């Protein structure tokens, strides 16, 4: 089956540093990838939609200058948390859509990245 790889799975950093998380679709091309954030005991919150070759679409309330998304190829999207602070500590998950973008494509998730900002 389709596999989405997310890296790193766990990262600990100091306040003020930037962290990059990669999301790769390993056996299919994904023109659309999604980035989510999950708060403890809550569901996934969509942060942004990443479209290959164009700017990401951010959800209301998500700071685009803080959460930089780059979708440089059909198999790779990256999320960079810039100048991270303790409140950015969370579980970040990506997903990639296989199929015609936006038309009932199947969604596959990465394993998530646990970010801890000290």
Q: Is 108 in the site for other proteins (CB under 8 A)?
A: yes
Q: Is 107 in the site for other proteins (CB under 8 A)?
A: yes
Terminal Cα distance for the chain, rounded: 37
Pick from 6, 25, 75, 90 the residue near other proteins by CB under 8 A.
Answer: 6
CA atoms within 13 A on the CB side of 84: 21
Are 48 and 69 in contact by the 8 Å Cβ rule? The answer is yes
Q: Is 32 in the site for other proteins (CB under 8 A)?
A: yes
DSSP element (H, E) containing 50: strand 44-51
Q: Is 42 in the site for other proteins (CB under 8 A)?
A: yes
Site of interaction with other proteins (CB under 8 A): 6, 32, 34, 42-44, 46, 49, 51, 57, 93, 97, 101-104, 106-112
């Amino acid at each position: 089956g389709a596999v989405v790889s997310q890296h790193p799975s766990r990262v600990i950093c100091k306040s003020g540093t930037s962290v990059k998380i990669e999301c790769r679709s390993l056996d299919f091309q994904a023109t659309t990838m999604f980035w989510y954030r999950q708060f403890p005991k809550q569901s996934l919150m969509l942060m942004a939609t990443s479209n290959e070759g164009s700017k990401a679409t951010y959800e209301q309330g998500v700071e685009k200058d803080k959460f930089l998304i780059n979708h440089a190829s059909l198999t790779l999207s990256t999320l960079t948390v810039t100048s991270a602070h303790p409140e950015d500590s969370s579980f970040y998950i990506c997903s990639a859509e296989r199929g015609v973008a936006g038309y009932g494509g199947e969604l596959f998730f990465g394993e998530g990245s646990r970010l801890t900002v000290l």
